[in-house]
Every structure is written in structure tokens, then in C-alpha cells.
């Protein structure tokens, strides 16, 4: 039997395994944390996984994103993850979405029954959006982050714990793996703890109530008590600023080598071609495809920069790589 060693563990057992098989978990962000957590949940037999990511696999990802290999470079992470998970466990259902999670589509994406959401994203705006959605619709989710040698995990269960906005105030830009680096041991540790807490929550077992902090370089572990903020704009006042779009940004810095996402109005191919002509006036276009532009421009500091634009027709979402 595939899960026999897990079923022997008394906290799970046969009934627990059956419950996992009937559960649905969504993983938002299939980077180092999300891909590792997704693999662990697939191996554990969580019956249905929903993978959401807007990015593609880069060579620099392979240092820590162990679900991928060199053949995946350039492929959408969500698609590559689905393909690998299918080889690991063909008994579970895996859906994937190559898209940006935003206030306009989060309700449709999570419209069906979801038991748990794993927050493995790379920016606070998306984290706060997930927080708003989960608090409003009473869906538990697990926050995780990892930069350098440090990482955090926090279980957020509506009406039972503090929410993200109880202790994180605004979506300011923090250190990322690009600015501070990251160890693969850090992401492995954090995703393992996140997946373990996911199993507990799905089985309705006692879960960790504290914010967990790890520093794998210094071998430090701390449990930080986080109380509900009596003036929290989200879980107390039910003011869902990110879910209703009031706090949505037009430009979001992504975790990667100078990658930004620009949110625009819907754009058609005619408008796209006009953009090509404008860019051609300010720099040399290296190549121009229907969904991909690369051009060189001369910066005010005298340096040449390469700009790459990636367009998703219909959503009007652009990615800009500098």
C-alpha cells in the first residue's frame, strides 16, 4: 500500500488517510516553498491540489526548487509542477492555473470547495489578498516565507487565530531572495513545516498557534505569540481592502532577477503593435513576438538596459524584466 507507513502513525491512521484523500488544498506560488510543499502533500495523499503561479522556471531556481530540473527551464512553473506530481502520485487530482491571483479572479479560482490554502507567494500584496479572502469566507491558510537563512510559518484559522494584518501592517517591499539570497536548506525546512501543519489542519488536529521562526544557519527556533489585534482592519473590522481592489497596485515586484509585473487595461493586438512602434523609437528591438518584446534602451546613467515584456492577452497583465 502506498500510504502504509503513514497510516501506521497513530495521529493519522486509516481514517485520517481517507480524510486526506477527500481533501482539497490550493498552493499559491509554486516557487521554492510552494513546489516543495506541493510535492510533500502529493506524496502524503491529499486528494486534490490546485497549483497557481504566473511565472516560469529559471535556471537560478534549480538551486532550491527541487521539484524541477534543467528540462523545465522556460516552462510555466504550475504546468511543470503538475507534470512532475503526476509521475510521483497518479492517484491524486492536480489542477493548475498559469495566472496572476488578483482581486478580480480570486473568487472564481476558489469558487469550489477548498479546505486549505497555502500561501507561498513572493509579495505582501498577494498575501494580504489571500488573507482577506480567507477571513471573509472562513478558509484556513498557512503563511510561509523564506529569505536568506531565515523563515516563518504561521497557521491562520478564522475566528481562532490572529490574521496576517494583525501583525503585518502594509504591503511594503521587504527583502527578497534576489536582494538577500536564500539557502535551499531554509526553503526545505519551511516548506516541510508548512506541509506538516497542512496535514494537521486538514485532519482537524491540534495545530501550531504561534508564529514559528527558524534560522537554519544559527540553528535557532523561536515561537512567537501573536494575539489578535482588537483594531485589525481585516479580521475585526471586516474591511477587506485588498479583496475589493482598493489596495491593488499596478506594478508589483516579483521574486526574480529584476522582474516586475505591470497591470494594465485589457489590450488587443493592434494596441500591442502600437507599443512596438513606440519602443522602436527609444531603443533597438531585439525580437518582438505577439506576447513577448525585448528591447535595449539607454538609461540616464549611460548604461544599456534590456527590457523584456510578457503579455497575457485577455487579462491585460504584463511582466517587465529589466
Element (H, E) at 150: strand 150-156
The yes-or-no answer on residue 232 being catalytic is no
Could you tell me which of 248, 274, 270, 272 has the C-alpha nearest to residue 261? 248
- The whole-angstrom separation of Cα 98 and Cα 77 is 8
What pLDDT, on the 0 to 100 scale, is given for residue 274? 73
- In sequence order, what E strands does the chain have? 24-28, 48-53, 93-98, 116-119, 141-147, 150-156, 211-215, 220-224, 251-253, 259-263, 284-289, 292-298, 304-312, 317-321
Of the candidates 134, 166, 177, 235, the residue annotated as catalytic is 177
* Beta-strand runs (E) in 24-165: 24-28, 48-53, 93-98, 116-119, 141-147, 150-156
Domains of the chain, by residue range, sit at 4-224, 264-321
Q: Tell me the C-alpha distance between 45 and 48, whole Å.
A: 9
Instruction: Express the helix, strand and coil content of the chain in percent, nearest 5 each.
Output: 35, 25, 40
Tell me, what's the pLDDT at 42?
98
Say if CB 216 and CB 149 are below 8 A apart: yes
pLDDT (tens, 9 = 90+) of the chain, 322 residues, equals 899 999 999 999 999 999 999 999 999 999 999 999 999 999 999 999 999 998 889 999 999 999 999 999 989 999 999 999 999 999 999 999 988 898 989 999 998 789 999 999 988 899 999 999 999 999 999 999 999 999 999 999 999 999 999 998 775 556 666 667 899 999 999 999 999 999 999 999 999 999 999 999 999 999 999 999 999 999 999 999 999 987 666 555 555 555 555 555 555 567 666 766 766 665 555 444 444 444 554 445 555 555 555 554 444 444 444 4
Give the pLDDT of residue 304: 54
Domain over 4-224 is classified CATH 3.40.710.10: no
Amino acid at each position: 500500500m502506498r500510504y502504509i507507513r503513514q497510516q501506521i502513525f497513530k495521529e493519522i491512521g486509516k481514517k485520517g488517510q481517507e480524510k486526506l484523500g477527500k481533501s482539497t488544498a490550493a498552493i499559491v506560488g509554486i516557487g521554492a516553498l510552494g513546489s516543495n510543499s506541493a510535492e510533500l502533500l502529493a506524496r502524503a495523499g491529499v486528494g486534490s491540489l490546485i497549483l497557481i503561479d504566473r511565472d516560469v522556471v529559471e535556471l537560478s531556481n534549480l538551486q532550491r526548487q527541487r521539484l524541477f530540473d534543467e528540462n523545465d527551464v522556460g516552462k510555466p512553473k504550475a504546468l511543470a509542477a503538475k507534470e512532475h506530481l503526476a509521475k510521483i502520485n497518479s492517484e491524486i487530482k492536480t489542477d493548475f492555473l498559469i495566472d496572476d491571483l488578483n482581486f478580480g479572479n480570486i473568487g472564481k479560482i476558489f469558487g469550489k470547495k477548498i479546505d486549505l490554502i497555502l500561501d507561498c507567494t513572493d509579495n505582501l500584496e498577494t498575501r494580504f489578498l489571500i488573507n482577506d479572502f480567507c477571513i471573509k469566507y472562513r478558509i484556513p491558510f498557512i503563511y510561509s516565507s523564506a529569505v536568506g537563512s531565515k523563515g516563518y510559518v504561521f497557521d491562520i484559522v478564522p475566528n481562532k487565530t490572529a490574521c496576517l494584518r494583525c501583525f503585518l501592517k502594509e504591503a511594503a517591499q521587504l527583502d527578497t531572495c534576489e536582494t538577500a539570497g536564500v539557502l535551499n536548506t531554509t526553503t526545505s525546512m519551511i516548506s516541510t513545516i508548512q506541509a506538516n501543519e497542512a496535514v494537521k489542519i486538514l485532519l482537524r488536529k491540534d495545530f501550531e498557534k504561534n508564529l514559528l521562526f527558524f534560522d537554519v544557519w544559527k540553528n535557532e527556533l523561536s515561537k512567537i505569540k501573536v494575539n489578535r489585534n482588537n483594531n485589525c482592519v481585516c479580521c475585526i473590522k471586516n474591511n477587506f481592502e485588498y479583496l475589493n481592489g482598493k489596495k491593488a497596485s499596478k506594478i508589483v515586484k516579483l521574486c526574480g532577477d529584476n522582474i516586475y509585473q505591470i497591470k494594465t487595461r485589457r489590450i488587443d493586438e493592434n494596441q500591442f503593435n502600437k507599443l512596438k512602434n513606440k519602443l522602436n523609437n527609444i531603443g533597438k528591438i531585439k525580437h518582438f513576438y505577439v506576447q513577448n518584446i525585448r528591447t535595449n534602451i539607454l538609461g540616464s546613467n549611460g548604461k544599456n538596459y534590456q527590457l523584456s515584456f510578457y503579455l497575457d492577452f485577455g487579462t491585460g497583465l504584463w511582466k517587465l524584466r529589466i
